[in-house]
A = this chain, B = another copy of it.
Amino acid sequence: MTSMTATAAGDPAPTGRRERKKQRTREALIDAAYTLFAEKGFEATTVEEIADLVDVSSRTFFRYFSSKEDVVLTFQEEQFAAMKAALAARPPDEPVITAMRNAGVAVMRASEEGEYGFDLQKFVCVQQMMESSPALFGRSLEHGQKKQAEITRIVAERMGVDPAADMRPHVAAGAASCAFRAAYDLWIHGDGDPKRLSELVDQVFALIEDGLNYPSAARP
């Protein structure tokens, strides 16, 4: 495989006509899926319906996505890519937890301003689907876990240590991904005080950096 014909120009344009068609089909499937999801919910929508709406066979759907959940996870993948880029852009002398914090806040801010492809509206839609679909929720967490492993590697590299010998990258990455989930949670199940997501991310990280040493309310 990898015919690597390295046609014409070079890297940025391995574009053929077939590639474009594929890309269009893929996006059409995503669009159709989100349309139907928004309309009838995630579970109530069948793969066949999605495929029919794009006028391809269900079999073809599975050639683009390994599962119905996979369509939704596309979104998370994009978001993660943005996070990774933001993290790489942080000054290299910043402590890792601070770097992750700032990267997270930066991405959220940008989202709030409508930058990036992923708008917060879509994000909310996805989040709501999760609530009503355990299977999807599970896949999402699973995906997050995979990404956490990647973050662990990046953090380890940044710290200049071996992740196999030093558990700190593991824990830091875990704490970070947990922080984001907590922020999402607090944002979605807003307590009537609708803060901005970027603000929540910042605050949650602040708590973690303080060590979470909360006293119990020693009861009588």
Contacts and interface: CB of A to CB of B under 8 A. Distances in A.
**Main secondary structure on chain A at its contact with chain B?**
helix
Given A137-B145, A165-B191, A209-B211, A216 B158 contact: yes
A175 interface: yes
State the number of copies, please: 2
Interface residues of A, number: 53
Interface string A137-159: 11101100100000000000011
A214 to B, nearest CB: 5
A110 interface: no
Given A96-B216, A158-B216, A210-B211, 4 more contacts: A99-B216, A170-B186, A171-B208, A208-B208
17 contacts: A94-B216, A95-B215, A96-B215, A98-B213, A99-B216, A141-B145, A159-B214, A159-B215, A160-B217, A164-B191, A165-B191, A167-B204, A167-B207, A170-B185, A170-B186, A174-B178, A175-B175
